[in-house]
Amino acid sequence: MIGRVDSIRPEFVEFIPDRLEPGVLYVSLEYKSMAHLCCCGCGRKVVTPLSPTGWRITFDGRAITICPSVGNWQKDCKSHYLIIQNRVRWARRWSDDEIASGLEHDRQIKQDYYDESASSDSGASQKSGTHAGTKKPRKRRW
């Protein structure tokens, strides 16, 4: 059992190791994946894939920020936090209803994204131009 972690440092690796150290956010650009031990200290492994519909990172050479927040709804602890500049910012735990609508929202974003990329496949060269202005980016709720 380890305690709650309030800061985390990035470690860029090719492969995510089997044994993760608490307080380390492993980032594999090679496999577009990240993993860390849940910051609440429950010891669960949290995998956050890097993708346009998953998580994004900002790295300034020293500190890492990941977006959106990490919500461990499937885990017992149900912890919810943001990682901003290597700091773990604890967020409010969601109710079951909020989790359900959050997941639904997520699903919707993914669906929109894949619909759009499927339809733009035919004319990839005209991606900028008329199309870009018509669709506003959606804001995530958390």
Binding site for Zn ion (CB under 5 A): 38, 40, 42, 77, 79
Shortest separation between residue 56's beta carbon and Zn ion, angstroms: 22
Q: How far is the CB of 129 from Zn ion (least distance, A)?
A: 46
Task: Please state the closest distance from residue 125 (CB atom) to Zn ion, in A.
Answer: 46
CA distances 34 to 12, 31, 104, 127, Å, are: 9, 9, 23, 29
Give dist(CA 13, CA 142) in Å, integer: 28
CB of 24 or CB of 77, closer to Zn ion: 77
The radius of gyration computed from the CA coordinates of the chain, to the nearest angstrom, equals 17
Of 33 and 72, which CB lies nearer to Zn ion in the complex structure? 72
Q: Among residues 48 and 79, whose Cβ is nearest to Zn ion?
A: 79
E strand intervals along 17-63 = 24-28, 33-37, 45-47, 56-59
